[in-house]
């Protein structure tokens, strides 16, 4: 919708719209070609000016050298003082002019009257130009329009041994010849300029093609719009988003990712291994592999992680990772499982009660009332006694329902769940959902362990709270837990059971989360978990009350294996 809404004004805008739709690569190409043309033209112009300057400088140097040399030729003073200086000097001067390549070489007396000239008809006429400085014994150069047109000339005095000026020598090259000399270099300069222009434009086109591929042919409007939307989405989305390159460096992390993973401020640009993440989380982020709703622990949070590798032209570029906080959802799921277990137990008891009712009715119809009463009340004493005891000992209705439901559930699975007589729970500063997570998962694991053990199959549960804190102790008659496996048992994904189908469309339920969830709750409250062994495994959880000694308790919180 964004693209279509902006398209109409761009079409109406004519040339401005074309500029808006032109890709970044196209605009860069036009700019670069323009700059290259301007630079090449400027370079050629500078080279032409330099060539002209050089030609002029060389002409000046030549006329000065020729004039100086001829003015100091032996016999020059004698020739000037002779009765026929023109006849003596003219052939020598003309030969020297031809050899040196100057346009004129003139010898004159101090009054400026020519003794020599390329045009014999001008001999005896006054020299056209300035000679005052030369008469003072100073050689000089100037540009002056003489009989041959504008020329660069040098005028040098001819002096005797005592410094008396007895004549002057002028040598010059016309400006037209200087320009012609510079013009002969112009084709070479133009050819070099055109070659440089062709190379520069060719290189620019190649760079433009690469830029076009990298920008996908997008124009500045589209790129700006994409960036604005990209930035807005990253800040607004309620999921953590990370972009990780093929070197396992974090290129981008939005606000929610920083919060959920507790990333440092300078996380961007650092390797995943340097961010202090949980080992399993760091391994997933750094591996570049694909993941779908993989559950990971990060501090006190349980995260659902999706990772999608980024590949272009068959080469891995990294991965995009999204992180979603499922801590509350997992807690609610645990509570729901407890309710489902209780419902299943009630359903089974209802079915069993219906069977018993049929037996009672049949006994009544047979007029065997004593047997009917005895049969009807035989199974009620134990369950009623347990219910009455829990009603008096447990103030938390959710915990009481959980214990009753797990007792019925264990009975259905052939396991005797015993709740100790010292079980007593008063109001405690642990949320009911967290209490269900701890007690429910420990009991579930114990029931499954007892099922694979030898008869009699039993689980013993004790839940006690006092002024010091809460203690949950669950023991089973199963095979127990090897001490070397204790630490691994509390890691996410560790289990001794295979994944089972959950009936949700064929998707298997993740296993190995129960004890990880228990450890998460215990850590959050600064408690401890002890793992021991009697006839089977014994798990003991201790959570202190949140009072003034909490920091000290949190400092010692952890996992022990007595």
Q: How far apart are CA 387 and CA 369, in angstroms?
A: 27
**For domain 330-501+508-560, which architecture applies?**
2-Layer Sandwich (3.30)
Condensed to tens digits (0 to 9), the pLDDT of residues 470-508 reads 889 999 988 887 777 676 677 655 555 544 433 333 333
pTM over 0.95: no
Q: How far apart are CA 132 and CA 165, in angstroms?
A: 12
Span of 231-235, 278-282, 439-443 with lowest mean pLDDT = 231-235
CATH 3.30.450.20 describes domain 71-176: yes
Q: Indicate the domain borders of the chain.
A: 71-176, 238-325, 330-501+508-560
- Say which residue, 358 or 68, is predicted with more confidence: 68
CATH 3.30.1280.10 describes domain 238-325: no
Span of 36-45, 426-435, 504-513 with lowest mean pLDDT = 504-513
Largest CA distance in the chain: 182
Q: How far apart are CA 94 and CA 117, in angstroms?
A: 8
CB atoms inside a 10 Å sphere around CB 65: 14
Q: How many CA atoms lie within 13 A of 514 on its CB side?
A: 22
Q: How far apart are CA 498 and CA 337, in angstroms?
A: 19
Condensed to tens digits (0 to 9), the pLDDT of residues 311-354 reads 877 788 888 888 888 766 666 666 666 666 667 666 766 766 67
Q: How far apart are CA 160 and CA 72, in angstroms?
A: 10
- Say which residue, 451 or 356, is predicted with more confidence: 451
Q: Provide the CA 197 distance to its chain's centre, in angstroms.
A: 37
Q: What is the mean pLDDT of residues 454-464?
A: 88
The domains spanning 71-176 and 238-325 adopt the same CATH topology: yes
Please give the pLDDT value at position 331. 62
Which of 255-259, 296-300, 405-409, 461-465 is predicted most confidently? 461-465
Q: What is the mean pLDDT of residues 162-172?
A: 89
* 70 pLDDT above the threshold of 80: yes
Q: Tell me what the pLDDT averaged over the chain comes to.
A: 76
Q: What is the mean pLDDT of residues 173-186?
A: 74
Q: How far apart are CA 325 and CA 520, in angstroms?
A: 14
Q: Please, are residues 127 and 114 in contact by the beta-carbon 8 Å criterion?
A: yes
φ, ψ of residue 559 in degrees (nearest 5)? -125, 130
């Amino acid at each position: 919708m964004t693209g279509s809404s902006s398209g109409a004004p761009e079409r109406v805008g004519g040339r401005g719209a074309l500029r808006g739709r032109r890709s970044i690569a196209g605009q860069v190409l036009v700019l670069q070609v323009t700059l290259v043309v301007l630079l090449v033209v400027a370079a050629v112009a500078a080279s032409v000016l330099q060539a002209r300057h050089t030609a002029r400088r060389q002409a000046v140097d030549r006329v000065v050298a020729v004039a100086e040399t001829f003015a100091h030729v032996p016999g020059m003073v004698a020739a000037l003082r002779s009765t026929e200086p023109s006849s003596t000097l003219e052939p020598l001067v003309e030969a020297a002019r031809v050899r040196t390549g100057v346009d004129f070489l003139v010898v004159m007396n101090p009054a400026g009257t020519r003794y020599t000239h390329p045009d014999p008809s001008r001999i005896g006429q006054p020299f056209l130009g300035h000679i005052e400085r030369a008469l003072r014994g100073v050689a000089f150069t100037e540009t002056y329009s003489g009989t041959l047109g504008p020329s660069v000339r040098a005028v040098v005095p001819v002096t005797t041994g005592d410094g008396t000026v007895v004549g002057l020598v002028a040598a010059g090259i016309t400006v037209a010849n200087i320009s012609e000399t510079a013009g002969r270099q112009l084709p070479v300069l133009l050819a070099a300029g055109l070659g440089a222009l062709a190379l520069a434009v060719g290189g620019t086109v190649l760079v433009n093609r690469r830029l076009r591929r990298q920008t996908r042919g997008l124009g500045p409007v589209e790129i700006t719009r994409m960036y604005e939307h990209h930035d807005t989405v990253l800040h607004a989305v309620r999921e953590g988003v990370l972009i990780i390159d093929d070197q396992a460096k974090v290129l981008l992390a939005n606000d929610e990712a920083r919060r959920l993973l507790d990333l440092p401020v300078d996380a961007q640009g650092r390797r995943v291994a340097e961010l202090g993440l949980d080992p399993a989380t760091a391994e997933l982020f750094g591996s570049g592999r694909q993941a779908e709703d993989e559950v990971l622990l990060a501090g006190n949070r349980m995260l659902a992680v999706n990772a999608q590798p980024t590949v272009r032209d068959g080469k891995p570029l990294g991965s995009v990772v999204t992180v979603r906080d499922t801590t509350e959802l997992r807690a609610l799921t645990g509570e729901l499982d407890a309710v489902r277990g209780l419902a299943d137990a009630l359903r089974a008891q209802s079915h069993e009660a219906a069977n018993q009712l049929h037996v009672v009715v049949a006994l009544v119809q047979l007029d065997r009332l004593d047997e009917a009463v005895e049969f009807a009340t035989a199974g009620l004493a134990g369950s009623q006694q347990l219910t009455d005891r829990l009603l008096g000992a447990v103030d938390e209705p959710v915990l009481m329902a959980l214990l009753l439901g797990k007792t019925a559930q264990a009975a259905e699975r052939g396991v005797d769940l015993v709740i100790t007589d010292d079980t007593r729970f008063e109001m405690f500063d642990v949320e009911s959902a967290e209490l269900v997570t701890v007690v429910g998962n420990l009991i579930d694991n114990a029931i499954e362990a007892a099922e694979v053990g030898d008869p009699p199959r039993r689980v013993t549960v004790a839940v006690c709270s006092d002024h010091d804190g809460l203690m949950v102790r669950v023991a089973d008659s199963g095979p127990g837990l090897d001490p070397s496996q204790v630490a691994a048992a509390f890691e996410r994904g560790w289990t001794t059971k295979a994944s089972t189908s959950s009936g949700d469309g064929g998707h298997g339920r993740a296993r190995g989360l129960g004890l990880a969830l228990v450890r998460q709750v215990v850590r959050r409250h600064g408690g401890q978990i002890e793992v021991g062994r009697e006839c089977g495994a014994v798990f003991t959880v201790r959570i202190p009350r949140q009072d003034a000694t909490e920091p000290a308790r949190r400092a010692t919180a952890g996992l022990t294996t007595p």
